[in-house]
Amino acid sequence: MGRLGYIVRCIAHMDYGALFETVGEVHRRSGKNRVGLFFDIVKCGFKYGAGYKDYLLLEFETMTEAQRATFVTRGVNNTIVSMLNDPAYYHIFDNKNEFYTAFAEYLHRDWLDFGAATKDEACAFLEAREQIIAKPRDASCGVGVEKLARADFETVDAMYDYLKRADADLIEDVVVQHPDMARINPGSVNTIRVYTVLADGEANAVYACIRMGNSDRPVDNINAGGMYSPVDMETGKIAGPACDKQFRVYEAHPRTGTVLTGYQIPLWNESIAMCCEAAHKVPQMGYLGWDVAITENGSLLIEANNMPGHDAFPQMPSQAPDKIGFKPQLQRYIKGL
């Protein structure tokens, strides 16, 4: 029922206005007949689990059926999640306080459950720090994350009142990233997203990308204005230009001019080993995306995702000029995919 249920939900909740806009956009760039494109997009939804956004971003209109079948679409990604992840354990990854408790050994920073703390406990935490990061408990994609400086408030009480009004759930130390990571973009903590798959009791790091901020916000999420580049799993070097959600391709970071391809990620082997070790802590979750920050003192976990985004795989047209997607790489570890 997994794939069929996904398709039924998509049909029921589809934004048909956006679908027809996509048809028009693909028509303008390809010159193909609108009616034919409409039915082709619908067919790809049923056959490959590709939503109209997948069709647009991946340029499905240029591919053969065999090529389309190699791509990890939204539907394929959801199938992997349903195959490998037990929903009974989602709460550990959806709730940041639960995640921080379960994976405390990998955090390497202090934090406080602001929603449950007394005012005295919270003010003592704030008083001891020049800056903090405030996060909501359940949000994703960097939504609601703020970096706050104590100096910007008249008193600690005023800072506390601001956090209460903002419905902050968690406050934590600011992560000071490794100079080699800051050199890419100092305005955000630039993290590594590492995808792990548990197969036959072994944790496998199957893919990784570096996520870089490109806005005035302190987050690197591609849904919040950031960009990403694939990383060579063997060397830890950035393997190609960056892409963002608007199709833009960056050979160098636009804010710093740092050339991306070939850039060496520090402490690479340590970061991969940490994710593979952490993947064994909740073996009921066999497919996870770990967000790793790298500091001068080592690697640490920011969070993990029980539904890793398929949009970070190296499948954009500039990243897959042979029109072969990432699905064959995952099929090496996931039987029946």
Distance of alpha carbon 251 from alpha carbon 237, whole angstroms: 14
- In the prediction, which pLDDT does 275 show? 98
Q: Residues 6 or more apart from 239 whose CB is under 8 A from it?
A: 229, 230, 231, 232, 261, 314
Query: Alpha carbon of 261 to those of 184, 231, 251, 320: distances in Å?
Result: 12, 9, 7, 15
pLDDT at 214: 79
Q: Is 179 helix (H, G, I), strand (E, B) or coil?
A: helix
The pLDDT score that the predictor gives to residue 1 is 45
Q: Which residues contact 161 (CB under 8 A, 6 or more apart)?
A: none
At a CB cut-off of 8 Å and minimum separation 6, what does 9 contact?
none
Q: How many CA atoms lie within 13 A of 74 on its CB side?
A: 16
pLDDT tens digit at each of 337 positions of the chain: 455 555 556 555 667 788 999 999 999 999 999 999 999 999 999 999 999 999 999 999 999 999 999 999 999 999 999 999 999 999 999 998 999 999 999 999 999 999 999 999 999 999 999 999 998 866 555 557 888 999 999 999 999 999 999 889 999 999 999 999 999 999 889 999 999 999 999 999 999 999 998 766 655 566 666 889 999 999 999 999 998 877 789 999 999 999 999 999 999 999 999 999 999 999 999 999 999 999 999 999 999 999 998 989 999 998 899 999 999 999 999 999 9
- Residues 178 and 190: their CA atoms lie apart, in Å, by 10
**Residue found by looking up tokens 């704030």 in the block:** 126
In this structure, which CATH number among 3.30.1490.20, 2.160.10.10, 3.40.640.10, 1.10.3720.10 belongs to the domain 110-172? Answer: 3.30.1490.20
Homologous superfamily in CATH for domain 87-104+176-306:
ATP-grasp fold, B domain (3.30.470.20)
Number of neighbours of residue 181 by Cβ within 10 angstroms: 25
Say if CB 229 and CB 249 are below 8 A apart.
Answer: no
The residue whose two tokens read 């580049």 is: 229
Q: pTM for the full model?
A: 0.89
DSSP 189-222: --EEEEEEEEETTEEEEEEEEEEE--SSSS---G
Domain ranges of the chain: 2-84, 87-104+176-306, 110-172
Max CA separation in the chain (angstroms): 66
